[in-house]
Amino acid sequence: MNPFYRQRERGIDWKLITYQLSLYNVPPEEVMHKQKQLQMCMESYNLTETDLVEIIVPLLKDNKKINIDLIVNTIARKCRTKKRSNQMKEAIRKSRKSSNNINLSNSEKRLLDKVENTSTSDFLYLLKKRNNKYENLIRLALKHQYKLPDELINILFYDYLKTHKYLRYDIFNKIDDWLDHGVITAKQAIAYSKEVESKKQEINARDVYCRTGKTLESRTDWSKKNNYIYTKDDEAKLKELEEWFKNYEKKYS
């Protein structure tokens, strides 16, 4: 046996872990049976006995079995979330200056004003009217786990719901892509979405040309592209939100 492994084993208070888990009806035999695997989790992620118990308890099923795979996935997700949160704080500090160099159209500026000055719950209501419990959990996860600013969450919802009827778990893939490309503010998100859409148009145009030998004229129609970012339907929704705020202020002023 590895000497470090033995030394670490003596340093873990298994009696404390066993006692705390027994309060949740986990038999001591189950803890001892998974002892080596639990120890590896503690060593890999530098967990205390209390940290380990706090992770295990919410994951317990009716049979009170300790699911090591589920524990590892949960720890890894918490670590990624914490890393993202720290990255977000640093990136927001650096990105404000770089956002000043981005030029937006008038319609995009109006959209930017709304996402910057509207709460995430109100903006999601503006887009969908009725939100299910799962969508609200996604909103809270983006806000409290990812630590995203409201403006970025709002523009994320706006961009995602242009092609989806409901918020789904793959929205986290989109925000991960944004963060990987340094997108921290709503202004940067609008510019990045335009860039991604432009590349898609170019790829589609090349595909059409390869198949037919003809160019795709819509490729150069930039006005249509801008309308895709901010449509007349969006104008109506934003006006409706303004009316909602007016009524809200009258009611509670």
User: Using an 8 Å Cβ cutoff, are 142 and 175 in contact?
Assistant: yes
pLDDT < 50: residue spans in the chain:
1-9, 218-230, 252-253
Q: For residue 116, what pLDDT is reported? A: 92
What pTM, to 2 d.p., does this model score?
0.51
What distance in Å separates the CA atoms of residue 232 and residue 241, rounded to the nearest whole number?
14
- Under 8 Å CB-to-CB from 114, ≥6 apart: which residues? 123, 154, 238, 241
Q: For residue 227, what pLDDT is reported? A: 43
| Listed residue (47, 41, 43, 14) closest to 30, CA to CA | 14
Q: For residue 213, what pLDDT is reported? A: 60
Q: For residue 153, what pLDDT is reported? A: 94
